[in-house]
Amino acid sequence: MLAVNMRAITKRFGAMTANDQIDFQVEQGEIHCLLGENGAGKSTLMNVLFGLHCPDEGCIEIEGDLIPAVTPRLAYQLGIGMVHQHFMLINHLTCLENIILGNEPGNVVIDRKRAREAVQRLSDQYHFNIELDALVCDLSVGMKQRVEILKTLYRGANIIILDEPTAVLTPIEADQLLSILKEMRSQGKTIIFITHKLKETLEVADRITILRGGKFVALLDAASATPELLARLMVGHDVVFEIEKESCKKGDVILEIEDVRLLPNAQTTVSFSVHAGEIFGIAGVEGNGQQQLEQIIMGLVRPKSGRIFYQNTNLLELSHRARRHLRFAYIPSDRLKQALLSRVSLQENFLLGNQYDPMYVRRGFIQTKPLRESTTRMMKQFDVRATSAQQEAGSLSGGNQQKFVLAREVSKNPQFVLACQPVRGLDIGAIKYIHSVLLKLRSEGAAILLISAELSDIFQLSDTVGVLYKGELMDIRRTEGFDNESISLLMAGRKEEPRNETAQNA
């Protein structure tokens, strides 16, 4: 009997069809990977299964029973549990309280003793090692995820859906998760694993379903899958893994970071420099000081110690006013939160960061004509899809927003570019375009600091790579000096072990 049988599921949001007649079947007791690019419709499909969305067409069978309308409550009763990409945890409650939330033993008053015993027992059974009385806000990301998983198990889930669980984990933590999943499978649980990463799919899946553009593409046995085959099915055409890159022509030092302490309890300070014509990549799982580095360089936060030099000027001593005349381009990690005003027109958004440029503002007054012309020109050049420069920035798709931000920043003719997670959430076409823009800037002599959690970005673009872990720069090398394994170790905090001759590349 199939654990899950979804047939011809269709889900539309307005004019967009997120799921188009998708069939999805999961056997009991297997680990089934749902594979696809960003935006392929995987999360939507699982949200339908879990009852967060109502499908427009199609039917769902759980363990042989046809279920007409799923709700989260019903899903739980049927034994389905979901661990979301963005944790659904209550920060100011304890682990125990989070786990039992909605399912507390007792009638009106909570039977705390019974709750504690039951949860502790489960935690021990799967070797989770969770401290029940710790506040969730004090936990590490990996630990929070375990609380989420334990939550589903406590509620009696037999079918567990995980949405991009390793996106926020270090490689070591990811491995630990995968072994926990295998343990759960051996105890009879069914696991659905949403991901866009090929490596872990191949490592842990029994069967793989691939979605593309909202449609079902293929269902494979893991045994017959290879990375090339999966990538081709995901993207629809042969993927070139390598991008052409000119050799690095390093110029003068443009940005120099000296002895800056990124995090309060970091053991060492951070020092490195970025040259003109160079892409310096900072690898590392998000949350290890990248945000602090970003904010310190942009002058939003003062570091407790250290200095930053921009072509011989001490950045930290620059006034707000002086900063405005530096030729900095800034592509923040969260474009909507940090780079755009969503309810304001694209034209006015173009002014953001350019408002001290005499071309656009003279004697305090905005020059609308040159502003409109530049906006339209750059939008065309970067292929930003919008009805006009008057459209609100918030109504653009994620990819177009990112392209717009890039367009605006590049129009500044920057000497230094700070690009943070520049391709997060974008499809392969947009990713390739943005990569090419960054490489072009590099060949024109700009100094680029690239902060990214995506190893593919780092390896394809960077000339030099540094790894950030808990606010410390674990090592700095030329890109060729790294391979997937050595970089993963550093990202997880382990200093290099003796070189392994048979190390493989990504």
CA atoms within 13 A on the CB side of 132: 16
CB of 276 to another protein, least distance (A): 23
Alpha-carbon distance 239 to 234, whole Å?
A: 10
**Residue 463 found at the interface with another protein (CB under 8 A):** no
Interface residue with another protein, options 59, 66, 88, 503 (CB under 8 A): 88
**Residue 385 found at the interface with another protein (CB under 8 A):** no
For another protein, give the closer residue by CB, 402 or 486.
Answer: 402
**Residue 157 found at the interface with another protein (CB under 8 A):** no
Q: Per the structure block, which two tokens stand in for 37?
A: 């690019």
Residue 395 DSSP label: G
For another protein, give the closer residue by CB, 163 or 457.
Answer: 163
HEC string of 273-307 equals EEECCCEEEEECCCCCCHHHHHHHHCCCCCCCCCE
**Residue 369 found at the interface with another protein (CB under 8 A):** no
HEC string of 154-166 equals HCCCCEEEEECHH
Amino acid, res. 329? A
**Residue 298 found at the interface with another protein (CB under 8 A):** yes
Alpha-carbon distance 161 to 123, whole Å?
A: 19
Q: Pairing relation of β-strands 31-35 and 57-62?
A: unpaired
Q: Which stretch binds another protein (CB under 8 A): 189-197, 330-338, 475-483, 488-496?
A: 330-338
For another protein, give the closer residue by CB, 340 or 458.
Answer: 340
For another protein, give the closer residue by CB, 287 or 398.
Answer: 398
3-state secondary structure of 191: strand
Alpha-carbon distance 492 to 248, whole Å?
A: 29
**Residue 376 found at the interface with another protein (CB under 8 A):** no
Q: Which stretch binds another protein (CB under 8 A): 87-95, 121-129, 272-280, 283-291?
A: 87-95
Please give the angle made by the CA atoms of 429, 380 and 403, to the nearest 5 degrees. 45
**Residue 165 found at the interface with another protein (CB under 8 A):** no
Please give the angle made by the CA atoms of 447, 453 and 457, to the nearest 5 degrees. 55
**Residue 87 found at the interface with another protein (CB under 8 A):** yes
Residue 160 burial (CB count, 10 A): 22
**Residue 358 found at the interface with another protein (CB under 8 A):** no
| Residues 370/360, Cβ–Cβ less than 8 Å | yes
Show the binding pattern over residues 215-254: x = contacts another protein (CB under 8 A), - = does not.
----------------------------------------
Show the binding pattern over residues 415-444: x = contacts another protein (CB under 8 A), - = does not.
----------x-------------------
Entry field: residues in the chain: 506
Backbone angles phi, psi at 375, to 5 degrees: -60, -50
**Residue 44 found at the interface with another protein (CB under 8 A):** yes
Q: Which stretch binds another protein (CB under 8 A): 124-132, 228-236, 340-348, 449-457?
A: 340-348
Alpha-carbon distance 492 to 506, whole Å?
A: 17
Site for another protein, residues 106 to 145, rule: CB under 8 A: 106, 108-110
Interface residue with another protein, options 171, 353, 414, 471 (CB under 8 A): 353
**Residue 398 found at the interface with another protein (CB under 8 A):** yes
Q: Which of 407, 402, 314, 411 is nearest to 357 (CA)?
A: 411
**Number of residues located near another protein, criterion CB under 8 A:** 65
Q: Per the structure block, which two tokens stand in for 87?
A: 């944790």
Alpha-carbon distance 479 to 147, whole Å?
A: 37
Interface residue with another protein, options 355, 381, 436, 500 (CB under 8 A): 355
For another protein, give the closer residue by CB, 29 or 213.
Answer: 213
**Residue 18 found at the interface with another protein (CB under 8 A):** yes
Q: Per the structure block, which two tokens stand in for 227?
A: 């990375």
Alpha-carbon distance 410 to 377, whole Å?
A: 12
**Residue 397 found at the interface with another protein (CB under 8 A):** yes
CB of 474 to another protein, least distance (A): 28
Alpha-carbon distance 21 to 214, whole Å?
A: 9
CB of 18 to another protein, least distance (A): 5
Residue 269 DSSP label: -
**Residue 62 found at the interface with another protein (CB under 8 A):** no
CB of 343 to another protein, least distance (A): 6
CB of 296 to another protein, least distance (A): 13
Instruction: Provide the binding-site residues for another protein, judged by CB under 8 A.
Output: 13-14, 16, 18, 39-41, 44, 52, 71-73, 76, 82, 84, 87-93, 97, 101-104, 106, 108-110, 151, 214, 298, 300, 320, 323-324, 330, 332, 337-344, 348, 351-353, 355-356, 361, 364-366, 392, 394-398, 425
